[in-house]
Amino acid sequence: MLKIFSLLKNKVVKNASWIIGGRIVHMLCAFVVSLLTARYLGPGNYGLINYATAYTTFFYSICTLGINSILVKAIIDEPEHEGETLGTSIVLQGIASLLSSLMIIGIVRLIDGKEELTVIVTALCTIGLLFRIIEVLRYWFQAHLCSKYTVITTTVAYLLTSVYRIILLIQSADVKWFALATSIDYLAEAAFLYIFYKSNNGPKLHFTKGRVVKLLKMGTPFILAGLMVSIYGNTDKLMLKQMLNEEAVGYYSTATSLCNVWVFLLSAIIDSMYPVIMEARKTSIQKYEKQNKLLYAIVFYISVFVSLMFVVFAKPTISLLYGEVYLPTVGPLRISTWYVAFSYLGVARNAWIVSENQQKYIAPIYVCAAITNVILNYAFIPIWGASGAAVASLLTQITTIFIWPLLIKTMRPNAKLMLDAILLRGIK
């Protein structure tokens, strides 16, 4: 593994170190505050918060219009149009976010209309969608390997929000105030991100109709794909609430939160290598394939190691951190932890997909994945509860990464790259 890491370029390592350092701070704050919040709210109200968040996460993929997936490439390919690309993206996503917020509130009122608290909590969570449009600027920093500014932004914003949550805990506030916390986090992050963008002489943001067509054309294949990812990423929580109760959502959400507490490391590595892979595609196919394999190997083996730790120490960890009331989380945790390896292989694969212009195949792959996930959740939740949802998500992710792509001829080379990476072939 040391040889694998030594192959990373210095600039990538430096950029990744900023991301990792910042996310360690973010992770520690998030972990402590979430832990205290979960213990205070209990499985029921904690599950309610996560149920509401599942809706906003589900619709966020629609709000981005698939544009975020191609922004780095668009900026690298046409640096002279950065301001136009970013400004147009913000306007388009702003309109989509407003419409999505109204749609979420309408859906929840229709499905859970008799539960007034559920409607209110969900409405408060949707406000954050309107502030997340400024995250578009994050991709400008990523394209220029200047992630230290986004790290500072995210860290400061979350520290402020953590103070807000701690005040709520001290005052024994109602669950509705906790629902507002995420929206406050996105508001603070948007403000700081824009300030850093201007202070670093970011190009003037402006909207043009001509850029609308180009961005939507490039991003359209990712819209359906993102929606399908959201379906199999959030269906479990939505179905657990409807088929069982809020407590089941609380147990499952606690498990997935623990599994994801460390993935900032994977995100940092992927974000830093993304532009390097893009550039390598222009100069050397051999170097390009090697960089892809290197990324897949790092993601996979780090994930496997962490998953083994979770399996061994799941019960004492849950008991110590959350208390006996959360012990039903142990089963879902031991299953969900293996999801991370395959999930982040999928995230890492996006660089190859964009570089090879294979976006048109994303939609059918994720349509199959979404259908698979719904069917598996419907079959397993009544039998195993929260653990059933975990099994459904894990199996869905495995099929998404290795099974469905094999049915598409032009996607098979990527499956081979992943297999070679797992076997550590051709990355030295």
Residue-number span of the structural domain to which 198 is assigned: 2-422
pLDDT in the model for residue 8? 45
Q: Is 139 or 391 the better-scoring residue by pLDDT? A: 391
In this prediction, residue 337 has a pLDDT band, given cuts at 50, 70 and 90, of very high
238, 261, 187, 236: which is closest to 34 by C-alpha?
261
Write out the two tokens for 59: 């619709």
Is 302 part of any domain?
yes
For residue 60, tell me if it sits in a domain.
yes
Q: Average pLDDT for residues 120-135, to the nearest whole number?
A: 87
Q: Is 358 inside a domain boundary?
A: yes
Would 93 be classed as within a structural domain? yes
Top mean pLDDT of 138-142, 146-150, 353-357 is at 353-357
pLDDT band for position 288 (50/70/90)?
A: confident
Q: Which of 72-86, 221-235, 282-296 ranks highest by mean pLDDT?
A: 282-296
> In the structure, what pLDDT confidence band is assigned to residue 20 with cuts at 50, 70 and 90?
low
CB atoms < 10 A from the CB of 102, how many?
A: 11
- pLDDT higher for 154 or 260? 260
Count of other CB atoms within 10 angstroms of residue 217: 11
Give the lowest-confidence range in 45-59, 117-131, 291-305, 353-367. Answer: 353-367
Most confidently predicted of 13-22, 200-209, 336-345: 336-345
Answer yes or no: are the C-beta atoms of 97 and 132 closer than 8 Å.
yes
What is the pTM assigned to this prediction? 0.71
* pLDDT above 90 as % of the chain: 15
Pull the structure tokens for residue 194.
């824009």
Q: What is the 8-class DSSP label of residue 171?
A: T
| Statement: residue 2 has pLDDT above 50 | no
Assigned domain for 384 exists:
yes
| pLDDT, tens digit (0-9, with 9 covering 90-100), for 387-426 | 999 999 899 889 988 888 888 888 888 888 888 888 888 7
Q: How far apart are CA 365 and CA 358, in angstroms?
A: 12
Task: Kindly report the average pLDDT of the chain as a whole number.
Answer: 82
Q: Is 349 domain-assigned?
A: yes
Using alpha carbons, list the distances in angstroms from residue 123 to 168, 204, 243: 19, 33, 22
In a domain, 427, yes or no: no
Angle, helices 362-384 vs 209-243, to 10°: value is 10
**What's the domain count of the chain?**
1
Give me the mean pLDDT over the 225-248 stretch.
79
Q: What is the pLDDT of residues 21-65, one digit of tens each?
A: 666 766 777 777 788 888 888 888 888 898 888 888 888 878 877
DSSP collapsed to 3 states, 37-83: HHHHHHHHHHHHHHHHHHHHHHHHHHHCCCHHHCHHHHHHHCHHHHH
Q: Is residue 39 part of a domain?
A: yes
User: 280 or 333: which carries more pLDDT confidence?
Assistant: 333
